[in-house]
Amino acid sequence: MTQSQPQTAPLSRAEGKQRSRQKLITATINSIAKRGFADTTLARVAEGAGLSRGIVNFHFRTKDALFLETLKFMSREYRECWFRALDESGPSPAEKLEAVLMAEFEPPISNRNRMAVWFAFYGEAKSRPTYMSSCTELDDIIHDTLINLCRTIIEEGDYENRNADIIAFGISSLTEGLTLDILLNTGAISLDRGKEVLRSHLQALFPKHFPITRCTGN
């Protein structure tokens, strides 16, 4: 006698609506990464999500509304991952700094489609104030956190002639550059290689907090 499979409870109306909305956002990310902004249409998003055009119009009346909601979703996701790494790291500022930088090269932040879409949104932000507001708000929060971590490390290590603002800006620029290299040069720079470059940079900046480890043979 065969055992009956457990019944899955049907989704509530609110859950079904949220699931459809998330499918559309995911399809938008995939489409922008593949085609760019200009060639991403509501019809293509609907097709990618496996939903009807009417469902798209129910959730988002315009393509701009869909794009803005996609950017807000990615900003929330990025912020949650970044601050989760901060909260789950060791207690010292050096451990926290390394944790958040390494998180840049871990899923979901390191997903190639998301990398491509982030750069696409930044490219559009100059001419779209709503995009610029979402992008800069997240940047400011993260940058202020980096400055505070660097300032504490400088004070702890008594590093002379170290400016926390400049160092934080340099770390952010290096991280963005590595991300762009990974995105554009498939296979040339790996995620692990990106981590190695950042660790080497931290060792040069703060040698007391990030000592160089040497492997010894047997």
| Helices then strands, each counted (H, E), the chain | 9, 0
Please tell me the distance from the alpha carbon of residue 105 to that of residue 100, in angstroms, as a whole number.
Answer: 10
Q: Cα angle vertex 137, ends 173, 201, to 5°?
A: 20
Residue 49 · residue 23 · CB < 8 Å: yes
Sketch out the chain's domains with CATH numbers.
Answer: 15-61 (1.10.10.60), 67-205 (1.10.357.10)
Please tell me the distance from the alpha carbon of residue 186 to that of residue 166, in angstroms, as a whole number.
Answer: 30
pLDDT value at residue 174? 95
Residue 149 · residue 98 · CB < 8 Å: no
The pTM of this model reads 0.84
Amino acid at 124: E
Residue 79 · residue 141 · CB < 8 Å: yes
Q: What is the mean pLDDT of each run of 10 residues along the chain (218 residues)?
A: 55 78 96 94 95 92 93 93 95 97 91 91 86 84 95 96 96 93 79 93 96 58
pLDDT value at residue 3? 55
